[in-house]
Structure 1
Amino acid sequence: MRFLQKQYNKKWMLPLLTFVVGCLILTAFIHHSYDTNRKQVRMITELNASTYAERLRDDMNRGVAIADALKAIIISGNGTIDNFEKVSENLMSDFVQSIQIAPDGVVTEIYPAEGNEAGKIDLLHDEKRGEICRYGRDNNCVTMQGPFDLKQGGRGIVVRYPVYLEAADGNPVFWGFTIVIIRVPEIFEESVQALTDFGYDYCLTKTVSPLSEERERLSFSKEDLTNPVTYTFEFGGCTFNLAVTPKDGWKQGWKILPNLVLGFFIVLFLTGLVAGILVIEFHREALKKIAITDPLTGLLNRDGFDEQIKSAIQDTPDAHCVGIQTDIDDFKFINDMYGHEAGDTALRILAQSMRNAFEKDAILCRNGGDEFSAVLIGMTEAEAKEKIEKFTMQPRYITQNGEKRPFYISLGYAEYPKDCDDVSELIRCADMALYAVKLHGKHSCCAYEGNYKVQNRSQLGFALQDVSRNLPGAFLIYIADKTNDRILFANQELIEFAGCKDFDEFLAYTDQRFRNLIHPEEQDAVETSIWKQIDSEKSGNNDYVKFRFAKKDGTYRPVFDHGRIVKSRYYGNVFYVLIMDCALIDSYYDKM
């Protein structure tokens, strides 16, 4: 029996022990929560004290700004001010008692004049004001003095702003003071009311002047504050102190005994609830990230790209930005030659190089395939040019069978708002610039030009170099404009026939105009003949036109021109032209 009794008592000891341990843990928790609550309330109070002190500083700046504006008018008038009353009337505010000017330290003008006649005194030699005024003059600094009782009722602070003009020898010469008398606490009314509404008692004091340690109250909601938080700031040479305490005291918001047991269970429940919500949110964010991320490169996909651009533009609607469109040159060749794994490696390498080059200031995206986009927020084309060129030309390699194989990229870029009215058009403009790079031979970068039309590019256009390289003759494309033709493309045979090394040299030589390939004496006649044939033929073909072809070395070769006018989706009407050397044709027929 005694054994069973002992066992029974032991079972009762376990719940008792659990209760005691639980009480100890609960006590420690309550004590910690109580102490944390006090620290948190004080920390929040400190933050609010600093925030509202800055608001009070801003309030004071409104008064200083009036004196500063008056100073600027005097300087611009080289020491004179026309219609002082009208100017002052425009500068007046509900917290301003009066506005004054004091040439050579003597107050000569006061607005409003009525009731302020006694204020016209010699400040520099006045018993109460002279020392502080001389201090402001000698140190060229704004000074404040007060608070003091106003004759019109209430209290005020005077702000004196020294004015210096430039003498003939270039040295500054003291002109006098611009003065504003500010009513207190009216100037602080909104800020201190907000502080009170937020649940705080306060007391704002300042030193009487920069030359005195004596302090006076400017505004307060309670005279004696218990263990207040104090924020100190300097303004106008004076030291301001803002003391703040919660109205409910430092035990604000803490209830122990009434809800001890209930609070324990509520805390457990809320902790579990918050934990559950956080877990759900974590999974939601993870799923969202997966939905807007390209799985191969880790960059944004197009949906995520569009979403981030929209968000960035909403935050900074007037910001300049540069759109970039790039792809890997001959990417299909890499896949066909080295396999799709090598192609995927090239894509990842390009994505990482984009992160390295643009990580701090770019939104990066893989559109699909080997096409990538980026937008540099807050940058102009000129600012981004060097970075883009360096990124385009940096070496990139994939490793195949132990050997490094280089691969290259082409890139086009455009600027908003210079090149388009809407950010949504930016990547299309960059795409057109990329198209131009492809036409010029790839592995380069190019800025968008305003004469491009922003449309979806033709994928066949990227094969133009390959096709034209094998055409049996000299080939040329230029804009069909009677008054301002412009060359868009020439194949290698025509470039060499003109005596140029490459397309860029050819464009420089011709100034991008077809008429500059015609002998100067024949230019007008040839163009008139071509357009006469075009206008008379519905098909858009013109007959063979013979003219002397102007080469870069200054010689001329007779040629036949045969062209067709077509509608281009990018450039409007363009001529596709074959140029044939007359000498070669004559030699062929002579043999026959």
Structure 2
Amino acid sequence: MKKKTLVPLIIFLLGICLVGLIVYKTDTHEKAERHTTAQLNATTYGERIKNEIISGIEITNTLEQILTSEDGEINHFDTIAENIISGSIASIQLAPDGIVTDIYPANGNEAGKIDLLHDKDRKEISCYARDHHTIITQGPFEFKQGGLGIAVRNPVYLKDENGQEYFWGFTIVILRIPDIFSDSIDAISNFGYEYRLSKTDTPWSDTYTIIEQSDGEMIHPVSYSFTIGEENWIFEVTPENGWRNTTLIAIIIGFFTLILLLLCGLTRMWLVSKENKNKFQILAHTDSLTNIHNRYRFDELAEEMIDKNPKEHFIAALLDIDDFKFINDIYGHVYGDRALKNLADNMKAFFPHDVVLGRNGGDEFCILLPNYTFKEAEELFQEFTKIPKTFTYKGKEYPFYISLGYAEYPTFAPNYAQLMRCADAALYEIKLHGKNGCMAYRKGLQSGVRKQLGFAFKDIAEHLPGAFIIYKADKKDDELFYANHEFLHMTGYKNIDEFFKLTKKRFRNLIREDEQQQIESSIWEQIDSGNENDYIHFHLRKADGSYLSVLDHGRIVESPQYGRVFYVLFMDWEDMHIHYKDKFSE
């Protein structure tokens, strides 16, 4: 009960910390996003304001070009000024030698005809413009008619008849504020920003004067700076609602708090179901009869171990109980299960703790040995297969035996799947060699054929009398696959390995050389004509090099692994004659 209360409380406290962190991160991110967007807008509209001011200044450049082309004279000034003036321009002026002589429109601007180079309010900055060859702006100042303006003075220099440059005077334009950049100001306001536009009082000053600003408070504004002539301007913006997205923060707090409460409510249910869940997981990965890993879990662990340690050596082994069907049939499945459980217990007791054990299903088991080589595994498996294994039936112990095949990674297999196929091939091979033992995989063994051909071999070996072999029905590659014990005994071969070695696994090497071509032609002539392979008489080579006169009878069958194969039964020619001679004499 204490745990069920404490764990949800801890989750709640940790959740509150997490919500606080999420809110902090979100708030920081939103502020950064808003700063980025605001900076982009300040740059964009600051640049537009600059261009709008420069477009007004261009009028002074136009007048300068006329003066240059007309040797310092402008005829029809009023007509020219009327054509280039716009609504954001209060007036256009000419000031030869620094004295304003021409103003358009003249009406209401008579007071503007002053000596700029000697006027106390305009002298210093006008002389700076003349001496430094730079455009200067001055203002803002109030118009008598109302509104604000900025004066732009452009110093004009001409050349005399000797090519010497001299100061002609100023071309001047008076800009209306904020009309000259009203489009940009309206746009930035519509985007929800407060703004402020300032400029330095003079080119040599660091003091800024506000040219235009909105009514709201400027909190930590971002800015964009630009230069006109030698004067610095700065355009600042800040969101009307501040840098924090309070609506989003409120939604996040509400949403995650609700999630946290639901999580705490579900924690109790999770704690109750956790124990059952762990039991189910164990059942899903464990073989219920033997209490070792099932094949799914074995594959999972084995692949994981090999993937994590690809340079180490691993040994995989497959083993099963010899003639397990016989145990089930004679003693019953209950005692077959006891044999399986006893085998699993033997494996757990015998192998090291770091070994992975599993049951594939039926009577087949699998083993993975980490950090083992062939030589080390051979001693281990030989010892294990020799350990007596029994099950009890009606108070009496009955022995059973196992066959085991194993393979090494990475010597013969580059991955786990191939490693298991090699171990399977080795298990199949030991079955062919009489069971009750272990065998290592070697090159040349066929993997994946035990289920396809093993059952057929067993049936033939147990239920068909006589000596027989099986080989591939191929004119160019008549590979030998199998020979039963009676055939090996009849021909004098010690075992199937010697048989394969001396014959080079070729059927034609069993036929006396002078008969090979005739016998092979006879066999394939019958097959190609669609007839069953009839009895054929020839001399069969024995292990000692001598020959035995035999009669063979073959049948072609389709193997899912090898395609067409021959099942061939051999009879001793002399024995048959003696046997049937005795029969006939009776």
Q: TM-score, normalised by structure 2?
A: 0.48
Q: TM-score, normalised by structure 1?
A: 0.48
